[in-house]
Amino acid sequence: SDYDLYFAGPAVMAAAIQKRAYETGLAQDQMFFDEFY
Question: Domain extents for the chain?
Answer: 5-36
Per-residue pLDDT at 15: 92
For residue range 1-37, list pLDDT tens digits in order.
689 999 999 989 999 999 999 999 999 999 999 887 6
Per-residue pLDDT at 10: 92
Global confidence as pTM: 0.73
Quote the longest CA-to-CA distance of the chain: 30
Q: Is 33 helix (H, G, I), strand (E, B) or coil?
A: strand
Per-residue pLDDT at 1: 67
Per-residue pLDDT at 25: 94
Per-residue pLDDT at 36: 78
Per-residue pLDDT at 18: 94
Q: Where are the alpha helices (DSSP H) in the chain?
A: 11-23
